[in-house]
Amino acid sequence: MTRVITETTIPSAAIVAWMSEINVAVQRHRDHLTQLDAAIGDGDHGTNMARGFAAVQTTLTGQGDDLLPGQLLILCGKTLVATVGGASGPLWGTAFRHAGRAVGAATELDGPLLVDALDAALAGITGLGRASVGDATIVDALDPAARALRSAVQAGAPLSQAAGAAAGAAEDGCKATIPLQARKGRASYLGERSIGHQDPGATSTALILRALETALSR
């Protein structure tokens, strides 16, 4: 039976839909992400994300049906670690695994659990990568997204709207990396020459958050 995705909770089907929307977005933006990474890194970010989320899609298509939201998030994280070389694989892999553990055995995520999940994802990424806001990384998009999600949920916004606020904050954070000097990852090797470039990882982070809004708006 098709489960209905309501405005107030996120069942497993909505997590699968989110992963599917991420896959659509990273395939669509693959060349752009790669171009951004070619300017200040090694030009593989688009292919890394595209490979990783294609593998997630395949894995969930085969195994996703009976898993809880937290189990799905953990499976997604493991798949990313297994399929993506480069910094983004372990970072997003850790993020989704931490998010999955944070929601435990819940059958559906409500607003506060979604906030916990995103906070845990951020903590996973900062714990592994040691980046702070302003270092021109994933964190520059994910940290403001987590804050915006929390504010929107606390204000009682429907989840799709809260996800939209998070995506907007991630997009702003991503644009805000342009004047920054990269302090972590490959781009940091360029020193001041990294200034003037939008961070590829922050860019894909905004796609991941916007995909959540899309999945919850269906």
Partners of 10 in the β-ladder:
109
What is the gyration radius of the CA atoms in the chain, in angstroms?
A: 16
What type of residue sits at position 165? A
Rule CB under 5 A: is residue 201 a binding residue for Mg ion? Answer: no
At closest approach, how far in Å is the CB of 125 from ligand ADP?
A: 6
Residue 36 in contact with residue 200, Cβ under 8 Å?
Answer: yes
Which of residues 7, 31, 42, 65 is near Mg ion by CB under 5 A? 42
Which of residues 118, 185, 207, 213 is near ligand ADP by CB under 6 A? 185
How remote is the C-alpha of 153 from its chain's centroid? 18
At closest approach, how far in Å is the CB of 70 from ligand ADP?
A: 23
Q: Measured between alpha carbons, how far is 184 from 97 in angstroms, rounded to an integer?
A: 22
Rule CB under 6 A: is residue 200 a binding residue for ligand ADP? Answer: yes
Q: Which does 131 bind (CB under 5 to 8 A by kind): Mg ion, ligand ADP, none?
A: ligand ADP
Q: Which does 46 bind (CB under 5 to 8 A by kind): Mg ion, ligand ADP, none?
A: none
What type of residue sits at position 53? F
Rule CB under 6 A: is residue 124 a binding residue for ligand ADP? Answer: no
Residue 22 in contact with residue 53, Cβ under 8 Å?
Answer: yes
Rule CB under 6 A: is residue 48 a binding residue for ligand ADP? Answer: yes
Rule CB under 5 A: is residue 44 a binding residue for Mg ion? Answer: yes
Rule CB under 5 A: is residue 129 a binding residue for Mg ion? Answer: no
Q: Which residues contact 65 (CB under 8 A, 6 or more apart)?
A: none
Task: Return the C-alpha torsion angle 94, 142, 68, 106, nearest 10.
Answer: 110
Rule CB under 5 A: is residue 199 a binding residue for Mg ion? Answer: no
Rule CB under 6 A: is residue 103 a binding residue for ligand ADP? Answer: no
DSSP label of 182: P
What residues line the site for ligand ADP (CB under 6 A)?
Answer: 37, 41-42, 44-45, 48, 86-88, 91, 125, 129-131, 137-139, 184-186, 199-202
What residues line the site for Mg ion (CB under 5 A)?
Answer: 37, 41-42, 44-45
